[in-house]
Structure 1
Amino acid sequence: MVADFTYYTPTKVVFGKNAEAETGSLVKMQGCKKVLVHYGSESARKSGLLGKITTSLRNEGIDFVELGGVVPNPRLSKVHEGIELCRKEGVDFILAVGGGSVIDSAKGIGYGLYHGGEVWDFYSQKRPIEGCFPIGCVLTLAAAGSEMSNSSVITNEDGNLKRGANNDASRLKFAIMNPELTYTLPAYQTMCGAVDIMMHTMERYFINEPSMHLTDELAEGLLRTVVHYAKVLKKNPMDYDGRANLMWASSLSHNGLTGAGNAGRGDWAPHQLEHEMGGMFDVAHGAGLSAIWDSWARFVFDQNPERFARLGEKVFSLSRTADVESDALKAIETFHDFFVSIDAPTNFKELGINPTEAEIEEMSEKCTFFGKRTLGNIKVLGKEEIKTIYTNAARA
């Protein structure tokens, strides 16, 4: 039976060539007077993008202050810096210029400004989230889907803890998406983004409870699209249609659409497993996901082989047989081969890490929030199961 659901997507999307020229007018519609322009590396300035954005703000009479330096796996210290700067400057709107890391950092700043006190409390689940300062973005990377999600993930350097906070208050007021802004991304970063998009979709797909047929079809179609255009972009990074489809897929994969009507939030174990890998080794998120997915899938598939087999049939047109477990394993193998084809790592060695037994033990302990939770839906994972998946990924 289809589950009841609430689908909430308040973010205004402005999509297309030169969309960033509308930044000033979109901020002005929010009634805000001073903006924090939050970004990552200086490439945003060297490319001329920051100049276009600040010119657009000036043309609308909007004051602004800048804060760059956000890194992949965004740091709590940068969130603290942003909160302090915004309070000092009287900022009332945050504009993220970048990908998921910059948007997540902006959401952390927004939480801290709204509530006061230690912002990490919301990521460590010590305090409930009650609101967030308004945020918009100019997206430069198709990957995390933060531009339309209620999610934010921050890494606390004290203990290398990577934790998420989810609340609808952080959903962006607007998201500006110009696919051309992703032309100059390194190939590896583009493919890591493709993996992240796929994982956001599959996390919602892998459930043991009933699902809505239409939602399954949307998820499968999105995955087929990403598989197709990842291959297109590997050959031609300047393909506009490829960039546009990946950018829109990023948003739809994580705004709730591909889980609507499904009974259950989804699995999310691969994401939680990767969070500890990212916290300890500072790996690229998408690369970490592909590096752990094969080991996770092979460990859990026997709990619902039909779900894996269907995905292989729908996404890669694999033929079905009378042996559903064999079909499921074929699907897992085909996903593995696809990741290889786009140069995404499929184990720890390919990811460039070699965790010791002690490090695997530490990641496994942290993954359970020090014994306070289990992971997964297809198969519930405790500390020992988590250790096995990490170990298998290390030995592959």
Structure 2
Amino acid sequence: MQDFVFQNSTKLIFGKDKEQFVGKEAVAYGRKLLLHYGGGSIKSSGLYDRVKESLKDQGIEVFELGGVKPNPRVSLVREGVALCKEHDISFILAVGGGSVIDSAKAIAAGVHYEGDVWDFFDGKAEVTDCLPIGVVLTIPAAGSESSSGTVITNEEGWYKRSAMHPSMRPQFAILNPVLTYTLPAYQTACGITDMMAHILERYFTNEKNVELTDRLCEGALKTIINHAHTVLEEPTNYDARAEIMWAGTIAHNDMLGTGRIGDWASHDIEHEISGIYDIAHGAGLAIVFPAWMKHVYKHDINRFAQFANRVWDVEIDLNNLEKTALAGIRKTEEFFSSIGMPITLKEANIGDEHFSEMAKKGTERGPLGNFVPLDETNVLEIFNLAR
């Protein structure tokens, strides 16, 4: 096990109707607030009005910036930075899913920086401080509500890149499972895939003697799997929605990665796909992760056999661990397919015309991943496996 420091300062407020407390939480950080959100769903559901009323009750002046898209764009981030600087805003409230939260984090980082905010994502500058951020979560998926990172897309060249800093962790996050009842099934399934991928990135490690976090990862994965079909078939099942929402936070709040070095190649590879094709991140991960598994499983067949056995209940064949490992990969593909996710690029209507470009862009800064470092040729092979 690796030495580690774990500190997650996000206050998590979980349960029904908890968005009514957003004003009381936000007012501690000042009385000028940027309300950041996506499209019209928070307005049609009534959430927007409830949030605005709670903020009004605390005497908070609200400035608004909507329009966040999936795979959030740096152009809107720049608008938000300018708005915050112009009005001397002291706090950003993100109401939405991972894209909204990531956009809010990027804005928060850019406010204290004199250069262009994309510098943080292009490796030209490092984040040093952020405006404080709060969250009302509507889509359990990305785990950004208590993580220290953000992912943004630049329309110039369609680069999708990440930045991290401890100050990006939200000060608080309100998680009400009822707010997820109206999510379309496809969006729910994308979220399920995304949170599973966050766990898998941590699970496939070269670190030895990490039994506790192995078991935590396996338990979280099994919980998600056990409730996935229920939330798709019974969208208003509170207990199932609550399990999925909490799992999405646990998957990416860094607890499951303590003492181990995760991989993250599959995320980087998927960023190239969604950067160009604007596919939902979870759908892209459903395609990439099994292909990555097929490419690297021989590196540690024992770990892949353990995964197959503990997560998918595949009986271990001691005489043929490769058979067990491959069965676990098939089970992963079958599950993603069963919840409506594509598991090949063809299913997502993505051809091979950008394979070379994506492999080259993805490895511009060096090999991807830690479990098995991948160069441009390896990434190209994974794209071909994902056809």
TM-score w.r.t. the length of structure 2 is 0.98
- Per the TM alignment, residue 377 of structure 1 is displaced from its structure 2 partner at its CA by 2.2
Say whether the 8 Å CA contact 2:2–2:207 is kept in structure 1.
Answer: no
Secondary structure of the residue aligned to 1:146 is coil
Alignment match, 2:367: 374
- Per the TM alignment, residue 224 of structure 1 is displaced from its structure 2 partner at its CA by 0.2
Distance 1:339 1:257 in 2: 25
- Residue 309 of structure 2: which of 309, 313, 320 is its match? 313
Distance 1:119 1:157 in 2: 14
Say whether the 8 Å CA contact 1:308–1:331 is kept in structure 2.
Answer: yes
- Per the TM alignment, residue 29 of structure 1 is displaced from its structure 2 partner at its CA by 2.3
Secondary structure of the residue aligned to 1:114 is coil
- Per the TM alignment, residue 211 of structure 1 is displaced from its structure 2 partner at its CA by 4.2
- Residue 336 of structure 2: which of 335, 339, 360 is its match? 339
Say whether the 8 Å CA contact 1:211–1:261 is kept in structure 2.
Answer: no
Distance 1:363 1:44 in 2: 35
Alignment match, 1:384: 377
Q: Percent identity at matched positions?
A: 45
Distance 2:89 2:252 in 1: 28
Q: Which runs of 5+ in 2 are unaligned?
A: none
Aligned length in residues = 386
- Per the TM alignment, residue 355 of structure 1 is displaced from its structure 2 partner at its CA by 3.0
Distance 1:83 1:29 in 2: 21
Alignment of 1:16-55 (within 5 A): 16-30=15-29, 32-55=30-53
Distance 1:234 1:93 in 2: 35
Which stretch shifts more, 272-281 or 317-326? Answer: 317-326
Secondary structure of the residue aligned to 1:381 is coil
Distance 2:209 2:249 in 1: 21
Alignment match, 1:225: 223
Alignment match, 2:265: 269
Pair 1:361-2:356 in alignment: yes
CA RMSD in angstroms comes to 0.9
- Per the TM alignment, residue 374 of structure 1 is displaced from its structure 2 partner at its CA by 0.1
Which residue identity is paired with 1:166?
Answer: M
- Residue 282 of structure 1: which of 278, 299, 302 is its match? 278
Which residue identity is paired with 1:345?
Answer: P
Say whether the 8 Å CA contact 2:342–2:348 is kept in structure 1.
Answer: yes
Say whether the 8 Å CA contact 1:94–1:135 is kept in structure 2.
Answer: yes
Distance 2:53 2:209 in 1: 47
Distance 2:209 2:183 in 1: 36
Alignment match, 1:168: 166
Secondary structure of the residue aligned to 2:103 is helix
Secondary structure of the residue aligned to 1:304 is helix
CA shift digits 1:14-48 (9 cap, x unpaired): 10000100000001123x11100000001111211
Point out 4+ residue stretches in structure 1 off by more than 6 angstroms. Answer: none
Pair 1:77-2:75 in alignment: yes
Say whether the 8 Å CA contact 1:35–1:64 is kept in structure 2.
Answer: yes
